[in-house]
Structure 1
Amino acid sequence: MAVELNHTAVHARDKHLSAEFLATILGLEVGAPFGPFIPVDTGNRVTLDFYEDPDLTFVPQHYAFLVPEEEFDTMIARLEVLGVTYYADPHHTDPGRVNRLFGGRGAYFADPDGHNMEIITRPYTRVVPG
């Protein structure tokens, strides 16, 4: 069996707010609470488990989502409806624009806790040595 990512904890100040935000943008569903977590399942069997600790000081992380080309514009529209600025670059210096890397489209935006979220329509290609 190949090694696969199964789930990861996403630290949040308000786990319900953060899970709902991401699920809304990506067109996913928030799952039933699982212990201290609020899960959001992705299409490739990876679960994001939102974990709340309002007193926690955490370093914002980066989460990238490969999304269908035909859903990309809908996701951008959802960001716009919510008043969330999206960017063409990971440093958030090119607002209101998307990038066209690797023949696809991509955009970055911050979630309510400052995590740097990315949506892309094509995976990044990597040169594998050997």
Structure 2
Amino acid sequence: MRPVVDAPPGWLPQVNERVLELLLASDIALHPDSVGALLNLLQDSIWSGTPAPFVSPVEAGGVSAEFRTPRVELHIEFDAGGVGTAYALNRDGAEWDGPLGDLPDGIEKWAWRLAHGAN
């Protein structure tokens, strides 16, 4: 499921800019481990072709990225320790919530679904 071209997604500079804005905001305290884990994941070429995620802070220094298409949603969250969780929804009725490493079909398949609008 990996893309033919091994390059980071085109939207990565905008995501980096958004993360920098959040880091510089005086009322938001993102933990470096959560930010590092998210950016490490998002720079992977598996995200090429997906819509840009919406990046936002979550409680206790965590950070999340939310991908949405008409058929697929994927929410990825990293806590202050850099531990990832995910919520995945396929409009055919498949729904899952749990540790990122246990995501059914794996993260590459969900990235492919987002990029191709497929099941």
| Both structures adopt the same fold (TM-score exceeding 0.5) | no
Rg: which structure is higher?
A: 1
Flag the structure with higher helix content: 2
User: So what's the TM-score if we normalise by structure 2?
Assistant: 0.29
